Structure 1
Amino acid sequence: MAVETEYTADLSGAMVLEPVPLADWLVVAPVAIPLVVGGILLVARRETRMHGWLAAGGLLATLVCTVLLLMRVLEQGIVVMTMGRWLPPFGISFVADPLGASFAVAGTLVAVVCAFYATSDIGTVGRRYGYYALLILMMAGVNGAFLTGDMFNLYVWFEVFLISSFGLLVMGSERRQLDGATKYAILNLIGTTFFLIATAYLYGIFGTLNMADVARKAGDLRDTAPLMTLTVLYLLAFAMKAAAFPVNFWLPASYHTPRIVTSALFGAVLTKVGIYGLLRTFGMLFPPELEILSVLIAWVAAATMILGIMGALAQTDIRRALGFVVISGIGIMLAGIAIGTPEGFAGTVFYALHSMIVLGALYLLAGVMNSLGGSYSLRDLGGLYAARPLIAAFALFLVLSIAGLPPASGLWPKVMLVQASLESGWSWLGFTILLTGFLTTVALGRVFILAIWRPLPENAEPIKAGMSPALGYGVLTALSLPMLIIGLYPDPVIGLAESAAGGLIDATTYIGTVFPEGAAQ
């Protein structure tokens, strides 16, 4: 005769049984809001007149959430939420630390400004083909990548923003756009394939994909597992996404082809996801492997810096020149990773935040110049100083900023990186950073002189009214003002960068937050 017994399982070691505090939902809001708004835009695809303002409003709400999330992280520490209430490593975690939260703030700020600019730059056809839905869904993928605590989901969010970026790149279906999109797609798909292979390899070695779990297990497996092979695969995948030499040729072949607002978002944000992946992989997960690969990464950084800015010097099209400036900046960030010290990582974090804002502003400035002069070619532009002195002032400020000259924000991260290179015995790398800054001044100073300072060339189109002056000045002010404030008062951002770097070098707090006392081991 069967005997009925009552058995109650104790789930406290595997699941979160208490209600989730409302403030903790901030960690998923930067992903959830763009996904919801993107879905609304797809459903309301016939009401295209409202798309721009819906997307801008959704991104503005996302920006507010990212700022609140960063403030909470700085005040109370790392914020973790694991999906399905399962404790890690059973559940997939979202983790907001100073690194991820600060990158999300900077990237979303640029996206908000680009969304407002797009209300003038994107016409009815672009709205009908879903420009704004793709834009905001791309930012869902970017923020997901910055805030995930799981390596496979980092790959998933890569795919989300890559798919959206393909659609944005071909918007308009012009021949040059299709050509650029083909190169962009093929090379990025190769990079994500390496990423997927490395992630499968990671799971085969560790039996987990949770970043905190990998970080705490890596030391025990270092003598028996092929971790160097694994890190080289990640280095190749993230370097290709970041457009580092010698796998950078896809960027200058594609970033000049879409609408300028799309180029602004791509150049400012997408390559920084690759830098974020390198920081997370080498700073937190595999620092001993970084020591072995540091010389290789240093030479890659130097080649990326010099060849990138030399490419900019050779261009007569402003968009192409800015594409090479993007590449050169990636080399500067790689230099801090190669140095591998807390100061080097802090310099890279600071420079990445600065680079997102200044590159977005430079691309949008190029769009304003095109709306006035009718061209992106240095041969056809001129006379903008006489016609629009305020635009000339913005241009001079942005040139100083990207070159690392006062009073803008670009000075301080370069000072940090040069100082870190000298203290670590990498004096030649510090010299390369300074040389790159000088060449950047020459390259963009040439653009300023030819396109803005010199008189309008004969037989060139006269200066037009262009887009709404309020919109043009507004978007440039929205990005230039933070750079000026940071340039004049850099201490808060330096402290933020140092906090982010410290969390990478010493992952004890990160691991302890993801795996609190009593969590499954």
Structure 2
Amino acid sequence: MNNFVLLPIIIPFFFGMVLMFGQKSLRFQRGGAMFGLILAFISAVSLLFTVKNEGVQKITFGGWPEPFGITMVSDMVSALLVTTTLLLAIFIVWYSFSSIGTAREHFYYYPAIMMIITGVNGAFTTGDIFNMFVFFEVLLMASYVLIVLGGTRAQLAGSIKYILINVISSALFVIAIAYLYAIIGTLNMADISVKIAEINQPAIITVIAVLFLMVFGLKAAIFPLYFWLPTSYAAAPPPVLALFGALLTKVGVYAIMRTYTLFFIHDTAYTHELLLWLSVFTILAGCIGALAYFDVKQIIIYNIVIAVGVILFGVAQMNETGLQGAMFYLIHDMIIKAALFMLVGIIVYKTGTTNLRKMGGLMKSSPTLGWFYLIAAFGLAGIPPLSGFVGKLLIAKGGFEAGNTWSSLFVLATSLLVLLSVIRIFIYAFWGEEKPVQPILTNAETTKLFIPTAIVIIISIAYGVGAEYLTPFMSDAGRLLADPSIYVDAVLKGE
């Protein structure tokens, strides 16, 4: 057992509770949030290397043996995701200092962020399917606070759809868990894997697998369940949008990845073929949306949908290469989406609009911002040697190995559409004649925003250029996802 498994969850929760007090002191709120996140990040890095050197770590509550107690499990997949979550949260909070506004900061902004991080890290770490539901609810309740904080008309309109969809998906989640428990008789995910293998996944389990795909697909925004995402996310302020875009849909993606590689693996001719085609249609729908809009927020939001499809396409291959690529691309997408939403936020603060047709000439006044945006755009599209290249290449390779040649070629070809969608922002906003603007923030304030944004972009560059050094970690994650027995033995047998 390893008590350090809980630190990346407990530390944000503790600081979130503490920050509920002292709302009038910005120094206390900002300093407490930043200190708590840095402390949690250090614990996550330590846990990551512990998992690398010693294998899967776990802790079970209540003194009960597995699978009867509630088990928290940190394997290479969850450790990588938890570490990335905390790293990005540090820079998004830093970005918030000069962008979110003191009114929101005084009204539980930082406690809500800490609670979201608690829920996200808990969902990544739990080894119990019902506990995953609990952590989903923790992060969702905190996200409800952030999406309405400020009370603008757009926020309230977007939040209604967001809350309604998540209430429905949560109800379906409970129903799916109840059906699974009625058939299998356990909630421990490792034990579920063993029990389903023993009964060889009858048709009722396939039905439950599809129901879980609907539940997690709503949260991950896969086709055709992504309809709520654009309007709900676009209403949020830029730092909240960066947090949501980088983290929230990725929890749904992780849940599909975990369940569809750990225990829904005995009827892949149906379940994973369905996942493959849904992922292809998700990519297509995202490309259409990204190319159709002239709103900078909407373009990047639809690129969230595209990335969800690409990751799940890798998962659907069910081979080590595709799964390793999915992990590479998942981490890349978390980093690059945070960077792009932070960049888009600066553009909006400088121009006072999200409409590309009303922008122009920013290259003259903000050349550094323009070049950093271009680097991030190339990274999103997977231009080598930037961060998106390795993951997408491995996903396509996994598709070729699985015999899905044409769909793999489609995934590669859509990189051009992704590049086109984000280059439009560069062309409209940074080139051409300068247009009259009504900036929301001063140049000095946007310069403060650029510092954490530039660091995140540099991290994304390092992630791509230094892929060789990350490969051992990603290989371990891909191997664990491809071979469920590694996870099952570590949890149930303590190996």
TM bin, normalised by shorter chain, reads over 0.9
Selected match of 1:66 from 44, 53, 78:
44
Larger CA Rg, structure 1 vs 2: 1
Q: 1:495 and 2:472 equivalent?
A: yes
Gaps (5+ residues) in structure 2? none
Match of 2:490 in 1: 513
Corresponding pairs, count: 495
Match of 1:389 in 2: 367
Q: 1:398 and 2:337 equivalent?
A: no
Greater Cα offset, 302-311 or 285-294: 285-294
% identical aligned pairs: 34
Match of 1:324 in 2: 302
Give yes or no for contact 1:92–1:150 (8 Å, CA) kept in 2. Answer: yes
Q: 1:378 and 2:356 equivalent?
A: yes
Greater helix share, structure number: 2
Give yes or no for contact 2:98–2:449 (8 Å, CA) kept in 1. Answer: no
Give yes or no for contact 1:291–1:340 (8 Å, CA) kept in 2. Answer: no
Q: 1:40 and 2:18 equivalent?
A: yes
Letter in 2 for 1:164: A
Gaps (5+ residues) in structure 1? 1-19
CA distance in 2, matches of 1:244, 1:219: 28
Letter in 1 for 2:474: A
Letter in 1 for 2:227: F
Give yes or no for contact 2:282–2:309 (8 Å, CA) kept in 1. Answer: yes
Give yes or no for contact 1:42–1:130 (8 Å, CA) kept in 2. Answer: yes
Match of 1:91 in 2: 69
CA distance in 2, matches of 1:225, 1:92: 28
Letter in 2 for 1:495: P
Q: 1:357 and 2:319 equivalent?
A: no
Give yes or no for contact 2:44–2:83 (8 Å, CA) kept in 1. Answer: yes
CA distance in 1, matches of 2:440, 2:151: 28
Letter in 2 for 1:259: P
Give yes or no for contact 1:144–1:157 (8 Å, CA) kept in 2. Answer: yes
Match of 1:339 in 2: 317
Letter in 1 for 2:102: T
Task: Summarize the Cα distance change of 1:290–1:195 in structure 2 as closer, same or farther, 3 Å threshold.
Answer: farther
Q: 1:102 and 2:80 equivalent?
A: yes
- C-alpha offsets along residues 219-249 of structure 1, whole Å, 9 cap, x if unaligned? 1122657211111111111111100000000
Task: Summarize the Cα distance change of 1:174–1:39 in structure 2 as closer, same or farther, 3 Å threshold.
Answer: same
Task: Summarize the Cα distance change of 1:223–1:68 in structure 2 as closer, same or farther, 3 Å threshold.
Answer: closer
Letter in 1 for 2:9: V
Task: Summarize the Cα distance change of 1:208–1:313 in structure 2 as closer, same or farther, 3 Å threshold.
Answer: same
Task: Summarize the Cα distance change of 1:273–1:462 in structure 2 as closer, same or farther, 3 Å threshold.
Answer: closer
Give yes or no for contact 1:382–1:456 (8 Å, CA) kept in 2. Answer: yes
Q: 1:56 and 2:34 equivalent?
A: yes
Deviation of the 1:463 alpha carbon = 10
Task: Summarize the Cα distance change of 1:248–1:224 in structure 2 as closer, same or farther, 3 Å threshold.
Answer: closer
Give yes or no for contact 2:201–2:267 (8 Å, CA) kept in 1. Answer: no
Q: Please list, as runs of the form range in 1=range in 2, the aligned pairs for 1:463-502 lying within 5 A after superposition.
A: 465-468=442-445, 471-502=448-479
Letter in 2 for 1:438: L
Letter in 2 for 1:141: G
Give yes or no for contact 1:243–1:327 (8 Å, CA) kept in 2. Answer: yes
Match of 2:183 in 1: 205
Q: What RMSD in Å do the two structures reach over aligned CA positions?
A: 1.7
Give yes or no for contact 2:349–2:439 (8 Å, CA) kept in 1. Answer: no
Deviation of the 1:448 alpha carbon = 0.4
- C-alpha offsets along residues 452-496 of structure 1, whole Å, 9 cap, x if unaligned? 122212x44479743535533321232112221222221233332
Match of 1:297 in 2: 275
- C-alpha offsets along residues 334-365 of structure 1, whole Å, 9 cap, x if unaligned? 11122121111111111110000000000000
Deviation of the 1:366 alpha carbon = 0.8
Give yes or no for contact 2:44–2:82 (8 Å, CA) kept in 1. Answer: yes
Deviation of the 1:153 alpha carbon = 0.2
Match of 1:119 in 2: 97
- C-alpha offsets along residues 62-104 of structure 1, whole Å, 9 cap, x if unaligned? 1111111111101110100111232212211110000011011
Give yes or no for contact 2:209–2:271 (8 Å, CA) kept in 1. Answer: no
Match of 2:249 in 1: 271
